[in-house]
Copies of this chain bind each other. A is one copy, B any other.
Amino acid sequence: MIAPYNNIMEQILVIGSVALDTIMSPAGYSKEILGGSAVYFSISASFFAPVNLVATVGMDFPEKHKKTIESFGVDLEGLEVKEGKTFRWEGSYVKDLNCAETIDTQLNVFAEFKPCLPKGYEKSKYIFLANIDPDLQIYILKKFSGKRFIGCDSMNHWIKNKRESLKNMIKKTSIIFLNDSEAKMLSGESNILKAGKYLLSLGPRFAVVKRGEYGAIIFSKDFTFMAPAYLLEDVKDPTGAGDTFAGGFMGYLAKTDKINEKNMRNALIWGSVMASFTVQDFSVNRFLKITRKDINKRYKEFNSLISLKG
């Protein structure tokens, strides 16, 4: 299960949530399964480079879930266990497989999350600030000096309620990942090309707009690249697809450790490939059943699907 990478590779740090999700989808009902942005991101990225995870859970967090994350080689020294209950989210895809309907959110210990970096984590060159309070994202960034490649995510809640903090945070990052409705909301543009340009105007070098089953677009000063999403017959649970995408994207960059146009284009494809696996099963279950070989095979199939030369 443990992903094949060597020890001299650049490390990735993710700060986000570890959650217990309850999911209803046309494929069934799954109660209190392993979820959270940091989980999806780290397991996806673990196939490319070593990952350090910073998050918080309650005393009720099952040991088996911890073991699942660790089985991918993800370092959990930064997973703080606090008095209280783990963050819980309940969502349904019964009406629309492309759009989660939130049924219940219980922040629990996640409400007072104050990220704490274990010694050694500050060496991580690639950092992903998953969707948390932008003030916390800024707080974390202050702990780092020197050259880093920083990715971030956010959501409509922060766009609405903490717009200035969010813009201030985005300015300090290398790449922002947003889905199309968030990009449109933040920019005030209904056109995705205008929205992408707006995101770049906030300061990051790259902006990625995720379009769910329709793929993703990366914007930069020098180039724009877009790809559709991999075609699947069996979508069971789209939860975590965006974080899995970001994990594959950032993981591939950490593996190559070279930020250039070719690698950024490829990173988008690797992100799409990883996301295509996640949605095929509940939680991170699909990743428990695949190897690097399966990932490489799908990368090739995906290339044939989108390449003019076949």
Contact = CB atoms under 8 A, between A and B. Distances in A.
Interface string A208-239: 00010011010000011111100111010000
A192 interface: yes
Contacts of A193: 231-233
Interface residues of A, number: 33
A308 B265 contact: yes
Interface string A237-279: 0000000000000000000000001100110010000000000
A93 to B, nearest CB: 12
A201 interface: no
Given A265-B310, A310-B265, A224 B305 contact: yes
Contacts of A261: 310
By secondary structure, the A interface counts as: mixed
A191 B235 contact: yes
**Chain copies in the assembled complex:** 2
Contact of A308 (B97, B192, B266): B266
Contacts of A192: 231
Contacts of A303: 308
A222 to B, nearest CB: 10
Contacts of A304: 223
B308 A308 contact: no
Contacts of A157: none
A223 B191 CA distance: 32
B309 A225 contact: no
Contacts of A223: 304, 310
A59 interface: no
Given A211-B214, A214-B211, A214-B214, A227 B306 contact: yes
Given A214-B214, A226-B305, 17 more contacts: A191-B233, A191-B235, A192-B231, A193-B231, A194-B233, A214-B228, A223-B304, A224-B231, A225-B306, A225-B310, A226-B228, A226-B231, A226-B306, A262-B310, A265-B309, A307-B307, A307-B308
Q: Which 3 A-B pairs have the closest CB atoms?
A: A214-B214, A193-B231, A226-B228
24 contacts: A191-B232, A191-B235, A193-B232, A193-B233, A211-B214, A214-B215, A223-B310, A224-B231, A224-B305, A225-B305, A225-B306, A225-B310, A226-B306, A227-B306, A228-B228, A262-B308, A262-B309, A262-B310, A265-B308, A265-B310, A266-B308, A306-B306, A306-B308, A307-B307
